[in-house]
Structure 1
Amino acid sequence: MEEIFIAIMEHIAETMPELSYIDEDYGQLEPTEDQDSYPVTFPCVLIGNTESDWNDIGYGVQKSESLVTVRLAIDCYDDTHYTSGTYQKVRERQLKAKELYKALQGFQCTEEATPLVRVKSRDYSLPGNIKVYETMFSFTLHDESAMQEGLKKFTLQ
């Protein structure tokens, strides 16, 4: 799964160089009372919250139906009500979310994974004028990492 994260991070960095921060999502946007928030800069993309349902194929080989969540967070300091004259900032944020979706839709992270397919999306706000655009992608992963040694040699020949 680690290769999936790295491939997604690298692809986003290449496709959207204007992003100031790309990382694994480990709660940077939701600090707890006991923990200070990790300093992130905006706009940023956080990747995480993976979920996999594994099926055993046999001999240590498994296949998963997996999900990964990608969150685009943007600080919203512009006044965007209709008479503000800057309400077009709403469109700019939504276009940035669409750009991220288009960069990842159909992206194949590794040879062992199928291309990413969007299955769910939503947006929400966080305290501090932060808007989050969240997209969940599904993919199938073929994992031979626990394959029995004798079978590995046999299948490679």
Structure 2
Amino acid sequence: MGNPEDGSTGEKTVFVAKAAVVQDGKVLILHPCAETHHAEHDSIDLPGGKIRYGEDPLEALAREVREETGLLVEPIAPVRLWSFVRSDGLHFIGVTVVCTTQTGEVRLSDEHEGYAWVPPTAIAAAWPVHDELQAAFEVLERSSAMSTVARSSQARSTR
């Protein structure tokens, strides 16, 4: 039987929500502590974490981002549903949600040892990422390009 408090189902499955926090065209990435996150050297992560049993996924996302970074976020839209099995057999099913923030100062929890605001295109070149994370960044890049086109088009129509 699983533990509803930590999001596990008993079949070694954990449900998680991750935030692609966007500010000034850049995405917040975190550098997890290897000791606490089964992290590889130089790995990156997005803020977020486990959805507790009965918890609303967007509320879980906001809670986890606040706990890990001190940021208050506004969820905008899901960009990727993903799944992977970690080397210890734990199966993660998650959603990545684009979020904005009005608060700018990041205050890291002890789960992470660093952070950076980076353009989505620079992420894959600078750090090794798994396929699901890379796909989320690609979606972000496309949506960022579409937003730029929409803003540009809107500006021309108001002239």
Task: State the TM-score, normalized to the length of structure 2.
Answer: 0.26
> With CA pairs under 8 Å and 6+ residues apart, which has the higher RCO, 1 or 2?
2
Larger radius of gyration: 1
Query: Which one has the bigger helix percentage?
Result: 2
Task: State the TM-score, normalized to the length of structure 1.
Answer: 0.26
Query: Which one has the bigger strand percentage?
Result: 1
